[in-house]
Amino acid sequence: MSVAINKKGKPGQGGLEVDLDKYKKHLFRNIKNQLSVWFDSDENKYISAQDVYRFLHSIKGTSGTLQLGGLQQISEHLLHDITEDSEVSWDKKSLRKFLYDLIELTYEYENFEEHSKLNKKRDFASSLIHLIDDDVSMLIVLKDVLEERGWMVITSTNPENAVNQFFDMQPDCMVSNIDLLDENDLQLLSVFKEYTEKYFIPKILTSSKNDKETRINAYKMGADDFISKPVDIDEFVAKVERHLQRKKIFDQSVLIDELTQVYNRRFLDSSLPRFFDEFKRTKQPFTLAVADIDHFKNVNDTYGHQIGDRVLLEFAAFLKVNVRSTDIVYRYGGEEFVIIFPRTTSAEAKKRLTDLIELFSREVFKVKDHNSFSVTFSAGLYTVYEETATPASAFKNADMALYKAKNNGRARVETMEASFGPYKKKIMYATIIDDDVVIRTMLNQILQSMDFDHWELDVAVFEDGQTFFQSGRADHTAEHFLILDGVMPVMDGLEVLQKIKKLPHSDHYKVLMLTGRKSEYDIARALKLGADDYVTKPFSITELQARIQRLLKRVR
């Protein structure tokens, strides 16, 4: 008897009904089981080419029968690079890389309906929106809606975390529930009031109330717009889009940093090439310096962001007063500043900055309750002597020299020259904890392929939280980026977060939570326990890569 089956796995006219979905799930399960045997077991360090060949050959035949054309094509392509009688063995890292396309496509097939929605062309490196609301249901809805438009969204359910996220991530637009704020939330209130004059970040306040007094109070707190609940989604998206456009126009037109009143990064990008043109014409060297305030995070954590802003303001003023009139000071971002010394050698610039470090260390910052403190800064230099140098290479070299100064004890100046020696990046631990071998393997490959100027990622994967803690990896005090599955059979993600929060170095962790789309409780608990962001499964690989890049870019 013949069986006719259409592409959706439904019976054709006159044929028997065959449930292809059941057999597809069986295939995906077999693929995962084999990957787990290869990548999770410590027994075998190498996998024979014969085993890999048989694995691919089986997938090729089964996927063709089940009408999984893409999987069939990839397995055929991989089979061209391997023979059954080969004596070669694969190490785990090489095999992961070899099978990555097949593993990624398996994930996409397994989550086909959701993936087809996620696979739209979206620019996840674009605008960043900060949502603050204790209503997790509302957060989830608004985050989904905004990210469908291609914007990246970070969320927070309490004011204290919101303040830290605001300064760490520097969003392009803030949306906050005014009902969340009360007399005890003075820090976030001060953010709305004080920073409206210092930073142009559009702020939209929402409230369940829509009376005149509430709306007036919202605008007095620095709101650029007000939306009452229940939120009309179409109106909400239109307003966010309009404010992001305003932000973009503002950023493109302004050349002065709003807080410190020195030139900003945009003006640095446009003016730096002119110094290279001048160098080619005059052959006179110039020096580019990158300066960074030491332990600035400790200032913010100890005295608050308002005091931190005061330090930035006074540091910028100090630099302007103490450099020559021909030198130019820029704020590059955060606590990092750039100084260009025209017609200045490396030795001259180093002496000048060394003197300035000593001078600035004598400055005393007074805070209430008669407390006072002082800070220092470090600097890295690169002097342009060769016409082959470019603005990008000059800045990168100066930035690398800065990190050399940081690693050598801070409050010092280092130069980037031929005798400088190889630059040693700092180690950041990157750990994936997920019981799904396909997701573990994909994330491992993504992290292994990422390159950061100052960090060398030490990547490890675990199938549950208990194994992670038993390994001793959590005891390391270096910066740690953790991708954590919310639901696992042995010690779920929330239990892992609870244990991490109790560690003395818990502030060294950046946590990205993977959670189910309907898990409101898990999302609320994760955010409360200190997760920096969450992504719902199934996720877009492109989105996840962009989100990881953005989170780690802010880690210093």
**Model confidence at 113: pLDDT above 60:** no
Average pLDDT over residues 373-400: 93
Helix H segments across 391-435? Answer: 391-407
**Model confidence at 364: pLDDT above 60:** yes
Read off the pLDDT band of 197 (50, 70, 90): low
| Residue 450 and residue 464 in one domain | yes
Amino acid residing at 369: D
Average pLDDT over residues 171-176: 91
**Model confidence at 72: pLDDT above 50:** yes
**Model confidence at 187: pLDDT above 80:** no
Domain boundary at 110, 136, 153, which? 110
Give the residues across from 456 on adjacent strands: 427
| Residue 248 and residue 272 in one domain | no
**Model confidence at 214: pLDDT above 80:** yes
Q: Are 539 and 514 in contact (CB under 8 A)?
A: yes
Domain boundary at 401, 420, 439, which? 420
Q: Are 415 and 346 in contact (CB under 8 A)?
A: yes
What is the rounded distance in angstroms from the CA atom of residue 441 to the CA atom of residue 99?
10
Q: Is residue 118 part of a domain?
A: no
What is the rounded distance in angstroms from the CA atom of residue 321 to the CA atom of residue 331?
15
CATH number for the domain spanning 489: value is 3.40.50.2300
Give pLDDT tens digits for 396-410.
Answer: 999 999 989 998 999
Average pLDDT over residues 178-185: 66
Domain boundary at 83, 110, 137, which? 110
CATH number for the domain spanning 60: value is 1.20.120
Give pLDDT tens digits for 1-60.
Answer: 333 444 444 444 444 455 678 888 888 888 988 888 888 876 667 888 888 988 998 888
Residue 351 CA neighbour count, 13 Å, CB half: 4
Q: Is residue 323 part of a domain?
A: yes
**Which one of 110, 335, 414, 479 is the catalytic residue?**
335
335 is catalytic: yes
Task: Indicate the number of domains in the chain.
Answer: 4
| Residue 76 and residue 164 in one domain | no
523 versus 112: which is more confidently predicted?
A: 523
